[in-house]
């Protein structure tokens, strides 16, 4: 094997080790951020915003969509191991899908157009796609599962929404006036934070070990 080949092999190995370490670090940060939740005045108390997608999206922009999906998965698994589940894992699967619906489209677009405009287009697209997927999964998977897990009818969950937002009178209006605004706001806030800090921290993540 030539000297160049050996150097290339070592370089590839070092890159893989660095990526694995960074994915683990970003996943751990995401799990910590999940602990800090902000209640919203227009949604029931079980809808609280956290900023755990910030490190996931940063990982996506730095290492690509697949790495972002892995970070999202590790985040969900770590949180599951620490806090357990109240939905037999259904909520965790749905949260993984919703998170990926946000970060992966954003990363794919940014990968093709690595500019500030590309990042903005990607994050807007990801926010809209996450909102659509979030509304669908909440209406047909999450809310029915939560109702069953806690032994209450769907109408009881709708009533919790009505208590904070009089426009919520049915499952459909729950999704329109609580779930959709929740995801839109979360996507906007996460995107804003990433937009403000990414260029400052990306050189650190891209630095060679």
CATH code of the domain in which 184 resides: 1.10.1760.20
Number of domains in the chain: 1
Per-residue pLDDT tens for 117-169? 999 999 999 999 999 999 999 999 888 888 887 788 999 989 999 999 999 99
Two tokens at 7? Answer: 């150097």
Which domain does 146 fall in, by range? Answer: 3-206
Distance separating alpha carbons of residues 173 and 171, to the nearest angstrom = 6
Contact by Cβ (8 Å): 154, 143: yes
Residue-wise pLDDT for 172-208, tens only, equals 999 999 999 999 999 999 999 999 998 888 777 665 4
pLDDT at site 206: 66
DSSP reduced 3-state for 38: strand
Most confident of 35-39, 102-106, 163-167, 194-198: 102-106
How far is C-alpha 190 from the chain's CA centre?
A: 9
pLDDT confidence tier of residue 5, bands split at 50, 70 and 90: very low
Q: Do the beta carbons of residue 48 and residue 23 sit within 8 Å?
A: no
Contact 196, 57 (CB under 8 A): no
Backbone angles phi, psi at 15, to 5 degrees: -65, -45
Here the tokens at position 100 are 């990926």
> Rounded to 5 degrees, what are φ and ψ at 85?
-145, 150
Give percent above pLDDT 70 in the chain: 90
CA dist., res. 7 & res. 66, Å (int): 26
- Kindly give, in sequence order, each residue whose CB lies less than 8 Å from that of residue 105, ignoring residues fewer than 6 positions away: 122, 125, 126, 129
Q: Which helix (H) or strand (E) holds 89?
A: none
pTM: 0.86
Alpha-carbon distance of 34 to 46, in angstroms, equals 13
């Amino acid at each position: 094997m030539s000297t160049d080949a050996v150097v290339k092999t070592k370089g590839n190995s070092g890159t893989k080790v660095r990526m694995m370490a960074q994915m683990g670090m970003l996943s751990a940060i995401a799990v910590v951020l999940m602990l800090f939740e902000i209640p919203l005045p227009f949604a029931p108390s079980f809808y609280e915003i956290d900023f755990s997608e910030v490190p996931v999206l940063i990982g996506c922009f730095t290492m690509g969509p697949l790495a972002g999906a892995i970070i999202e998965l590790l985040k969900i698994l770590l949180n599951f191991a620490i806090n357990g589940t109240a939905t037999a894992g259904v909520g965790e699967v749905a949260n993984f899908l919703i998170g990926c619906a946000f970060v992966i489209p954003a990363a794919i677009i940014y990968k093709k157009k690595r500019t500030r405009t590309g990042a903005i287009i990607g994050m807007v697209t990801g926010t809209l796609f996450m909102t659509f997927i979030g509304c669908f999964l909440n209406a047909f998977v999450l809310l029915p599962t939560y109702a069953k897990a806690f032994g209450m009818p769907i109408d009881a969950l709708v009533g919790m929404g009505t208590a904070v937002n009089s426009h919520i009178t049915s499952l459909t209006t729950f999704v329109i006036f609580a779930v959709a605004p929740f995801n839109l706001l979360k996507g906007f806030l996460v995107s804003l934070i990433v937009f403000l800090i990414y260029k400052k921290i990306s050189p650190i993540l891209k630095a060679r070990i």
